[in-house]
Structure 1
């Protein structure tokens, strides 16, 4: 009994089983150590192919061909691979002499996702970002998007969304105002206290003038 699973090339099988052995010398290298037929299932006539560690490149039509010397037949099935990437991570990236920027990264997508940036008010600021997409050796996509930040906007969210109807991944980052150089909090408090003190002086003078004349003279003599 021979069982052959292949895609486009009959002579380059995804998996070949013959004479009760797995003959993998001519196997497509892309499937090396990732395929198997169950010996127990074969005894029942089940020649299903087990494919491990799915990759985006595995998507496509597979043909199964069986031949026992007296009878042969085949069939086809389609494999659809849809991988939702990792939760996006946000980090700061700052180099000397350049404006600070945030970088949003997500990996292992089967198709290119959409990246959406929003500021603390919920406004879409994606047009200010620059995305980059790369494909790894297994066919998965990694997306990286960066956006420059200003002191006025200290909360950002990065939404990485599949372009097909699937769940979304979102991450948020709060940037403390202490991160940006500028006027410190105690300086602001001192300035406000000083202004309020100056403004209170005319009110004190008016109140003193309303007091009894003698008392006013006594107070002034005591002050002198």
Structure 2
């Protein structure tokens, strides 16, 4: 009788081991490449558990700067919108079918320039947890730059290059008529409007002599550039290309 009882006890203990160690070796994976999209578009921020593992009964949390201010929180099979960052309410969703296969990807709708940044994807079942990340760049190509003169009595004349509607902040490059980069002689200011788009104004001082200046405003992520040139005659007659 004793031998028979011990044998059964061993079998019961062994049968519990796989359930305890199911998540061993699993990890949460985001994207190693930035995701680039335009304002107004919908995107899916990729994230999944590997090897594949159901996340239906897990806590799945997407956040940016603060863990406690989630972009999206799924827990107890519910999307908790009352604790969600107010900037994202009504714009996020997780796929219930995807969760069954360990797909934690976040659907983010109607992109805004302010959505640019690094997003963290966190999952836990209470005993196990993992985290991945994905970078999102919301890119907008701004307006054709305009160049004008800014002259204040008693001060050296300056050229002003302006462009608006950018995301993220663009790069401004000045060149003289010989193609020399004279950006180091300029100063640039950046302002953000109510929709999150950026406007740039770049200033460079000029001498009273004939010259040609070009102002190039370009995205720091691959995209066509905008360039304008200003021809300055010795009498300060201006011709803009």
CA distance, structure 1, for counterparts of residue 102 and residue 133 of structure 2: 21
Structure 2 runs not aligned, ≥5 long: 1-56
1:60 aligns with 2:118: yes
What TM-score, normalized by structure 2, do the two folds share?
Answer: 0.53
> What is aligned with 2:236?
180
The answer (yes or no) to whether the contact 1:92–1:103 under 8 Å persists in 2 is yes
What TM-score, normalized by structure 1, do the two folds share?
Answer: 0.56
CA-to-partner distance for each residue in 1:79-124, whole Å, 9 max, x for gaps? 22345563551231445746362324355344x5543211222123
Residues 102 and 141 of structure 1: CA distance in aligned 2, closer, same or farther (over 3 Å): closer
1:121 aligns with 2:178: yes
The answer (yes or no) to whether the contact 2:124–2:130 under 8 Å persists in 1 is no
> What is aligned with 2:160?
102
The answer (yes or no) to whether the contact 1:6–1:12 under 8 Å persists in 2 is no
1:91 aligns with 2:138: no
Deviation of the 1:167 alpha carbon? 5.6
Structure 1 runs not aligned, ≥5 long: 182-224
The answer (yes or no) to whether the contact 1:118–1:156 under 8 Å persists in 2 is yes
- With a CA cutoff of 8 Å and minimum separation of 6, indicate the structure with the bigger relative contact order: 2
The answer (yes or no) to whether the contact 1:158–1:172 under 8 Å persists in 2 is yes
SS at match of 1:115: strand
Question: How many residues of Structure 1 are paired with residues of Structure 2 in the alignment?
Answer: 175
More helix by share: 1
More strand by share: 2
> What is aligned with 1:23?
80
Give me the CA root mean square deviation.
4.0
Q: Could you say which structure has the larger radius of gyration?
A: 1
Within the candidate set 122, 135, 144, 1:80 is matched to 135
